[in-house]
Amino acid sequence: MKLLKKAILLLTLICYTSAIADNVIDEVIWVVGDEAILLSEVEEERLRAQYEGQRIEGDPYCVIPEQIAIQKLFLHQAELDSIVVNETTVSHQVDMRINYYLSQIGSKEKMEEYFRKTSSEIREELMTTVRNQMIIQQLQAKLTEHIKPTPAEIRRYYQQLPQDSVPVIPAQVEVQILSFEPPVPREETERIKSRLREYTERVNNGTADFAMLARLYSEDTESAKKGGEIGLVGRGQLVSAFADVAFNLTDPKKVSRIVETEYGYHIIQLIEKRGERINCRHILLRPRVSAADKATALEKLDSIATLIRLDSLTFEHAVSLLSQDKNTAMNGGLMMNPNTGSSKFEYQDLPPEIAKQIYNMQEGEISAPFLMMDQSRNKEMCVIVKLKKKSDIHRAQLPEDFQVIRGMLEQKLSAEYIQTWIRNKQKETYIHISDRWKGCDFQYPGWLH
């Protein structure tokens, strides 16, 4: 049955290609298993790579079809293994990519003209592309999850590395942070709540439109441009206090009670619910802290820094008592690098205010108190930092850079395993390549078996 199915598919594709030969709109150039690769797919990938600044080594009309063929091998295996991805995450990634296109091209109309598709078609194709990329990443992680080199293997790998292959480790630092928000006077909080109650009353009695008030007054600048609308999101994409209120709304004509979150104070209006996702509008107001209140908070922090320098208080204990940085409060204030998952930072990976403070500090030194913006919450915080450890630029060595060297070996072994997996899949998969493509210099010659 499989051979008959493949023969019927191939005959259909040959007939299709012949039918358009006089006026070629598209062309079947590869068949991998039961899947066809069209010339139009290759051209679209070439355009996208060109626009996103991706460099293709070699002839794109050879490289891209092979990349697509490899993807089809992975996706077929992922289907057998029942691998799925989170659609909310896929949608979020697509939104980011479309926003990037719009920022570079200038408008939705120009984007549609460049890709020769409507916005909905572009989005639909990007959903498929991003979903497939995430599925393949999960499959590859599953295929290589057993690769765990032992310390002895890591040491042997390091000893056999040519000197010019040993990576250069840039200057790195480990930093502890104590961060808290200057206290907001009760009068300021009441002023904010009073304004939000006024907006709620105006909307409920029909004298004002929620979307217009959001455009005029909301301090969430991105959603304010859209009348406060946040778009369809799942509960997990929202701060829990906000989500608890938003997902309990049922009447689009009513406005929620005032909600306090780490970002400030909100009122919310329901737009629609679709299954486990919700779209709503909100107005955000943030309390203002006076210069005098900030100065008082910095003086308090300076006193704490002095106690730490005199060994009357440890930095870790001070963090446990005072810090409002939820990412570091439970581990003694030690900052973690979101790009690597380790506590080591290159200077350019740190917030600029912190990098400036620690650049000339010595290990164990405590900074003077300073103000910095918490970009995730758009709030100004009072901060002191401690330089826990500092290393100058050097070539990787054991045991100091054990994690880096282990990562190199894991990456090498994983790449070798995936290459072997692809070669084995080539042998057991039906493949047909049009004559014009058989002369390509393939990364994996087994396509022509």
Domain of 97, CATH number, reads 1.10.4030.10
In this structure, are strands 259-261 and 233-234 parallel, antiparallel, or unpaired?
unpaired
Residue 131 or 374, more confident: 131
Please check whether residue 158 lies inside any domain of the structure: no
The CA distance from 431 to 446, in Å, is 10
User: First and final CA of the chain: distance in angstroms?
Assistant: 22
Mean of the pLDDT values across residues 71-83? 91
pLDDT of res. 377: 67
Same domain for 299 and 356, yes or no, is: yes
Q: Determine the pLDDT at residue 115.
A: 78
The tens digit of pLDDT for each residue in 184-204 reads 888 999 999 999 999 999 999
pLDDT confidence tier of residue 19, bands split at 50, 70 and 90: very low
pLDDT, one tens digit per residue, over 355-395 is 999 999 999 999 999 999 887 667 788 999 999 999 888 89
Q: Which amino acid is at 93?
A: Q
pLDDT tens, residue by residue, 407-418: 999 999 999 999
Same domain, 218 and 136: no
- Look up the CATH number of the domain holding residue 328: 3.10.50.40
Q: Same domain for 280 and 324?
A: no
Q: How far apart are CA 287 and CA 192, in angstroms?
A: 6
Residue 298 has pLDDT above 90, yes or no: yes
Over the stretch 154-164, which tens digit does the pLDDT of each residue have? 999 999 999 88
Please tell me whether residues 437 and 386 are part of one structural domain.
no
Please report whether residue 103 resides in a domain.
Answer: yes
Same domain for 131 and 109: yes
**pTM (2 d.p.):** 0.57
Q: Which residue has the higher pLDDT, 170 or 19?
A: 170
Domain end, chosen from 285, 300, 318, is at 285
Q: pLDDT tens digits for 299-320?
A: 999 999 999 999 999 999 999 9
Q: Compute CA distances 192 → 217, 267, 423, whole Å.
A: 12, 11, 64
At residue 5, does pLDDT exceed 60?
no
**Residues 49 and 102 both lie in one domain:** yes
Position 441 pLDDT exceeds 60: yes
Q: Are residues 109 and 173 in the same domain?
A: no
> Domain range for residue 391?
169-184+290-395
Higher-confidence position of 65 and 25: 65
122: left (phi over 0), alpha (psi -120 to 50) or beta: alpha
The pLDDT of residue 43 is above 90: no
The verdict on 176 and 202 lying in the same domain is no
Name every residue whose Cβ is closer than 8 Å to that of residue 97 and which is 6 or more positions away in sequence: 126, 130
